[in-house]
Amino acid sequence: MSLEGKVALVTGGSRGIGRAICQQLAGQGAVVGINFVSNPSAAEETLAEVKEAGSAGFVTGFDVADSQAVQAAVKSITADYGGVDILVNNAGITRDGLMARMKDADWDAVLNTNLKGAFTCSKAVMRGMMKKRWGRIINISSVIGFLGNGGQVNYAAAKAGLVGFTKAMARELAARSVTVNCVAPGYIVTDMTRELSEDIQEMIKAQIPLGTLGTPEDVAKATGYLASEESGYITGQTLHVNGGMYMGN
């Protein structure tokens, strides 16, 4: 599943699942752009790991919800590396709370980063992909977008929204051999889930047929496949990586 000669951009690539995706794509031979918004040192650590995996990479800081910043970053990447062939829309945040008490700001922050961010980044790279008649856009959704979860109406809406976004964009870009797919992780051990109490983690494990939380690498391997030449006839789909927690589609 070689990605030699390809340039990848991973939003929120500095930590957690994004970092594992950067390592995976680097291992497959891609030059990897590692995006972050607030923590440059974590991004530099990821860059060191990309280099260890035997690939070139670079760090690019911008807020995915800021379309001007996104366009400027993609312009500069295109000047330096010839464009973005693989985009992984991974940047995501949670601002949990029951609906009755959820503030507009919590709704807006989650929708802006998780859903609008995928729109701004995809829009910035799609023209280059269409010209090359090759591209891969992979959106990181979540099992929560399929199951729903009390206390996460904003996050569930954003993650379910990514699925519709993926299908519509897949139809628009298919004629130029650009594929657009989702990966929907279940519960994965990262900073996002480390905040959950022991009790909650045990309750979650009880709902997972494979009996454990997943690892960032589990998600990264699925993403690496959808980035590859070998997945070229798959578009508009969601690949669930959740230990069997949700088996629908």
Ligand X SMILES: NC(=O)c1ccc[n+]([C@@H]2O[C@H](COP(=O)([O-])OP(=O)(O)OC[C@H]3O[C@@H](n4cnc5c(N)ncnc54)[C@H](OP(=O)(O)O)[C@@H]3O)[C@@H](O)[C@H]2O)c1
Minimal distance in Å, beta carbon 207 to ligand X?
Answer: 13
CB of 204 to ligand X, least distance (A): 9
155 is catalytic: yes
In the shown chain, the binding pattern of residues 105 to 134 toward ligand X, with x for contact by CB under 6 A and - for none, equals --------xx--------------------
Place of tokens 């607030």: 38
Q: Can you tell me whether residue 114 is helix, strand or coil?
A: helix
Structure tokens, 137: 């856009």
Which positions from 163 to 202 touch ligand X by CB under 6 A, shown as an x/- string? Answer: ----------------------x-xx-xxxx---------
For the beta carbon of residue 247, count every other beta carbon within 10 angstroms: 9
In this chain, which stretch among 8-16, 124-132, 222-230, 231-239 interacts with ligand X, using CB under 6 A? 8-16
- Block residue for tokens 């628009």: 172
Q: Is residue 245 within 8 Å of 207, Cβ to Cβ?
A: yes
Helices (H), ranges, the chain: 16-27, 40-52, 67-81, 104-111, 117-132, 144-147, 153-173, 191-194, 198-205, 216-227
State how far Cα 249 lies from the chain centre. 19
Query: Which of residues 1, 56, 93, 130 is near ligand X by CB under 6 A?
Result: 93
Residues 29-68 that bind ligand X (CB under 6 A): 35-39, 42, 63-65
In angstroms, the CA 240 to CA 3 distance is: 23
Q: Which of 155, 187, 233, 246 is catalytic?
A: 155
91 binds ligand X (CB under 6 A): yes
Which residues are catalytic, by number? 155
Footprint on this chain of ligand X (rule: CB under 6 A): 11-12, 14-18, 35-39, 42, 63-65, 90-93, 113-114, 140, 142, 185, 187-188, 190-193
